[in-house]
Amino acid sequence: MDSYSKRKFIISGIFLMVGLLFIVKLFNLQILDTEFKQYATRNVLRKTVQYPSRGLIYDRNHKLLVYNQAAYDLLVTPREVKAFDTLMLCNILKIDIEDLRTGLKKATDYSRYKPSILVNQISSKQYALLQEKLYRFPGFFTQTRTIRDYPYRSAAHLLGGIGEVNSRDLKRDKYYSSGDYIGKGGVEKSYEEVLRGKKGIRFELKDAHNRVKGSYRGGELDTSAIRGRNVTLTIDADLQAYGEKLMQNKKGSIVAIDPSTGEVLCVVSSPAFDPTLLIGRERGKNYSVLLKDTLKPLFNRALMASYPPGSTFKMANALIGLQEKVIDFNTKIPCYGAFFYGNRSLGCHHKNEYGTSLIESVEMSCNTYYCNVFRYILEAPKFGTVKKGYENWIRHLHSMGFGIHLNTDFPRGEELTGLVPSTDYYEKRVFKGMRWRSLWIISLAIGQGELGVTPLQLTNYTAYLANRGHYYIPHVVKAVEGEEQIDERFLKPQQGTIDSAYFEPIIEGMYRVSLPPRGTARMSRIPGIEMCGKTGTAQNQGEDHSVFTAFAPKDKPKIAISVYVENAKWGSTYAAPIASLIMEKYLNDSIMESRKWLEKKMLDADLIHKGVNLLNH
Amino acid sequence: MVLLGWTSIYAAVYNEEHSSILDMSQQYGKQLLWIIAAIVIGFFMLVVDSKFYVAFSYPVYAVTSLLLLAVLFLGTEINGARSWFDLGVVRLQPSEFAKFATALALAKYTSKHNFKVHRLNSLLTMGAILGIPMLLIVLQGDAGSALVYAVFTLVLFREGLSGVVLFFGFLVGLVFILTLLLGTGEVLAIVSIGAFLAYYFLGAGKKIILKPFLYVAGSFAMLLGVDNLFTLGLGWEYALLITSVISGLIIFVLSLKKRWKNVTTIMMVFLGSVMFTYSVNYAFENILQQHQRSRINLLLGKISDPLGVGWHVKQSMTAIGSGGVTGKGFLQGTQTKFKFVPEQSTDFIFCTVGEEWGFIGTTALICLFLFFLIRLVFLAERQRSVFSRVYGYSVACILFFHFAINIGMTIKLAPVIGIPLPFFSYGGSSLWSFTILLFIFLRLDASRLERL
Ligand SMILES: [Zn+2]
């Protein structure tokens, strides 16, 4: 025992004092306090979230594309369930008694105290019936949710959808809580923060049976929900629907842009699917059908597929050649029906021993001409080495939007960068430390080989040609409610590296493509509209893909478009007619009588199967 | 006999926990496993020779300190604190185990031959023993758990630490709260007036009181005047700071010369308070995290925030308040079941007791804890070795701190600091660490006689 042993009383005293303080406070709280007496009568304070209605989506002509529709969920709190008429409930909801049992068991396993969803998205008719009889089913209650609906039943890829937040969303943004809906894909995703609005909170006093007994403190703490803002797209809904119809029974894509603004007019990926398939109770079932479909309808080809650009790429090489001064407007290169190098050759569909001119090279798509131009570009003495020449070539391509992320307003991850191989890429796979030789990568001259371009990039490049040297970043949203203008980046032109003075002969060549007697797209000519285009064939493992890219009118262009039809071989057979029909529809609003046969031919063409595709409408 | 008595109390605590955890359907199973593991650990603790604890105090302390350091780099972040090791099946929180390790190390140090608490050397060493884990835990972002170490002052008080330290601790707390409540300027004014009053009553007599007061007041007025005239932008707060600190320093130096012991002390306290006031403000704004700031502000009533932190406390009080005298009965609580109370099975477990068992239950629980704690104090007191005694007091004080803060926060008497209620709260780490903490002491107590 030491001299401080008395201090145990002081320490014990401190303990006792704190304990006593607690007891006094608890006495006050549990017995005396009147504010909590109110709750003692089994009333509980509950925080109810007020969900805002999600913003609507309109097309460029203010036609409604996406709106909200009420859906009803039936929830159950297992602890409060008493014996009830199971048969009656099954009859109202039109579900099996087995499903009801397993559903109830699942809910109980999850929690006996917390409500869980038993049946979701009940139709309004069933809901009305159920609401009448609900008092017979203690422990069950309904909750209203809004789901999306689509009057046009098109543009599913572009619009995206909404679905419950996942754990990643919850972690990333504190706004969400479990069970909330969030934009999944497309515009719904990239404009989520505009569309979602702001949740509100209402404090309610409820009794133990979850019945509302009134607001708390006269509602002074409540915050009201703020509805989501509406969004107007650059998309023309009729054009979009028409495009999807023309592409039915074909694989491929259409992307059309207004070159003067960068506004995307339509973006079709085929096979398309009806967006209403992914709402309602059949959602899960439909989704797995779409997912398993070998034609990959869920895959957005317009933004995510990467094809070689084929001959449509030749204009880029012509422009780079002019800019680097390795050719000029008067350059003539003889073509003997093929480009010969070493003991190999690369064929050409055309022949001109007296020398192909620049305009003719575009018009006739002369392979020989472009193989030579490509060599001149890479081997130009001013660069010293082929590798340096190649680096310079890439620089020009990037300025045309090839091989780069365009920074559009499509969700990141839904827009592919494409492939313009870097010097490292060829260093590793082709040259492997040896001296660079332009002939080894000669297929780049005619848009084949490793090159990968998305349909969106190809259209953007055509808009760049139409504008004679600049483009506007493609975007799908024209206006957001409550905002004066869209993002800055869409408003200023992206200036390319090629002087605008070099464009005229190339555009003249493209114009002649649509002219008889020898233009490859002469069948697709639209009387009264000066169209400039270029057909192409994208080499593929199987049957080649058909490509056509064009803009119109020749002066002050209003539309730039590219069409890919997979496994259709020639650009002139399907891609060009479809592109011309879209352009005609956009510029003239209807298809003239003399071209109705072409429209019918395109609509009827089936390149996928002889059977019926259930998912197309 | 003693052992039996303790085990029965322990079992009683266990049973209650058992029942209150029953309603957490998902966590119940896990918790049962942990309880079994805890019993195994407890048994193991009793089997080990008590000399082992004495001999291995420092190594255990060193290992846990290393673990605390390791968790900073390798740990998983939960709720903003990087203090967990995620081992797949279980998550361990080294800061829980650091408590008994620190208690062991402290006991070992104080039981050293010819140990004197007031020697500078020993004060520094003890400061280091407590400071290292505390610092590491603060670095993990878990300032709440670090506060536990403050309670060791109480242990040292028993070992002869001057009561003045406790008094100062109280003073520090008071200045801290006042600073946050009133702002630095006002506290400065209060401290200055307090210093003057103390000076007046304890000072060197009435003869010299008037003059310095007039000087100080005069220079304060002058400084204010100058400030107004030249618009230096000092404001009354800084004018007061400058005059009072300078005059304080002058009187301090004067008192040192003339050997007025009382005056010296008063001035030291005064200057210390002034510095502390400013450092509190700095620490509050810069060191504490937003959620900790808001919790303290809420407790002080400075902000009313019915949706954020306040919501938790409000809901917790509603749950407890709705219990009434006798409670709603076992498993009949509605507030807690609907998950209105956050982290209800961990930190807010007291709500369940309050709602389901009412005032009778809460009072019984508090009495049980008090009995348990005071029993521990008296058990500690009868130990023959200093090591056992210090360790026993550490156990009692740690448990007391948890008890006080955890229950205090559910009824708005303490800030919301996420620390568990011993033996009640859900969670393996805390249950095991309390078991280890307690059973080591039981083992030491059992070998009390062997030691003779
Ligand atoms: Zn040729």
CA of A573 to the centre of ligand 1 (A): 21
- Of the candidates B340, B369, B377, the beta carbon closest to that of A11 is on B377
pLDDT confidence bin for A42, thresholds 50/70/90: very low
CB contact under 8 A, B325 and A7: no
Tokens of B165: 């330290």
> For the segment A257-303, what is each residue's pLDDT rounded down to a tens digit?
999 999 999 999 999 999 988 887 777 888 899 999 888 999 999 99
For range A460-479, the mean pLDDT: 96
Question: Cβ distance B21 to B330 under 8 Å?
Answer: no
Instruction: Establish if A11 touches chain B: CB-CB under 8 angstroms.
Output: yes
pLDDT of residue B175: 65
Set of chain B residues whose Cβ sits within 8 Å of the Cβ of A11: 154, 157-158, 377, 393, 396-397
CB contact under 8 A, A30 and B334: no
- β-pairing verdict for A231-233 and A57-58: parallel
pLDDT of residue A369: 96
Please provide residue A443's backbone torsions phi and psi, each rounded to the nearest 5 degrees: -65, -20
- Of the candidates A25, A111, A208, the beta carbon closest to that of B413 is on A25
Asked if the model's pLDDT at residue B345 lies above 70, the reply is no
Find tokens 């099975």 and name the residue: B345
Q: Which amino acid is at B146?
A: A
Instruction: Establish if B392 touches chain A: CB-CB under 8 angstroms.
Output: no
Read off the pTM: 0.61
Give the whole-angstrom CA distance, residue B292 versus residue B302. 14
> For the segment A96-115, what is each residue's pLDDT rounded down to a tens digit?
888 888 888 888 877 766 67
pLDDT of residue A526: 93
Q: How many DSSP H helices and E strands does chain B contain?
A: 18, 3
Q: How many CA atoms lie within 13 A of B428 on its CB side?
A: 19
Residue extent(s) of CATH 3.40.710.10 domains in chain A: 237-615
Tokens of B8: 């029965």
CB-CB neighbours of B302 under 10 Å? 12
For range A228-244, the mean pLDDT: 95
CA of B158 to the centre of ligand 1 (A): 103
Asked if the model's pLDDT at residue A214 lies above 70, the reply is no
For range B45-58, the mean pLDDT: 78
Tokens of A598: 């072409």
> For the segment A516-568, what is each residue's pLDDT rounded down to a tens digit?
888 888 989 999 999 999 999 888 888 889 999 999 999 999 999 999 999 88
Instruction: Establish if B356 touches chain A: CB-CB under 8 angstroms.
Output: no
Asked if the model's pLDDT at residue A134 lies above 60, the reply is yes
Instruction: Establish if A128 touches chain B: CB-CB under 8 angstroms.
Output: no
Per CATH, the homologous superfamily of domain A53-201+225-229 is Penicillin-binding protein 2a (Domain 2) (3.90.1310.10)
pLDDT confidence bin for A150, thresholds 50/70/90: very high
Tokens of A40: 């003692």
> Number of A:B CB contacts under 8 A?
121
CA of A372 to the centre of ligand 1 (A): 11
Please report, for residues A34, A315, B83, B95, B293, the alpha-carbon distance to residue B143 in angstroms, rounded to integers and kept in the order given. 36, 66, 11, 11, 11
Q: By CA distance, what is A17's nearest residue in B?
A: B370
Which residue in B110, B158, B351, B355 has the most chain A C-beta atoms within 10 A of its own C-beta, making it the best mutation to test that interface? Answer: B158
Give the whole-angstrom CA distance, residue B214 versus residue A205. 62
Q: Compute the nearest-CA separation of B337 from chain A (Å).
A: 6
Q: Compute the nearest-CA separation of A8 from chain B (Å).
A: 7
pLDDT of residue B149: 81
- The helix/strand/coil state of B260 is coil
> For the segment B298-324, what is each residue's pLDDT rounded down to a tens digit?
555 544 444 455 566 776 777 777 777
For range A122-140, the mean pLDDT: 82
Tokens of B391: 């360790």
Asked if the model's pLDDT at residue A229 lies above 90, the reply is yes
pLDDT of residue B159: 75
Q: Which residues fall within 8 angstroms of residue A480, CB to CB, at 6 or more apart?
A: A191, A194, A229, A230, A231, A232, A486
> For the segment A151-206, what is each residue's pLDDT rounded down to a tens digit?
989 999 999 988 888 888 888 888 887 778 899 889 999 999 999 999 888 777 66
Q: What is chain B's Cα-based Rg?
A: 25
Residue extent(s) of CATH 3.90.1310.10 domains in chain A: 53-201+225-229
Q: Which residue has the higher pLDDT, A616 or A168?
A: A168
Asked if the model's pLDDT at residue A319 lies above 60, the reply is yes
Asked if the model's pLDDT at residue A209 lies above 60, the reply is no
Q: By CA distance, what is B117's nearest residue in A?
A: A4
pLDDT of residue A272: 92
Mutual orientation of helices B290-299 and B309-321 as an angle, nearest 10°? 50
Q: Compute the nearest-CA separation of B322 from chain A (Å).
A: 4
Instruction: Establish if A27 touches chain B: CB-CB under 8 angstroms.
Output: yes
| Length in residues, chain A | 617
Q: Hey, what CATH class is A237-615 in? A: alpha beta
Give the whole-angstrom CA distance, residue B213 versus residue A554. 94
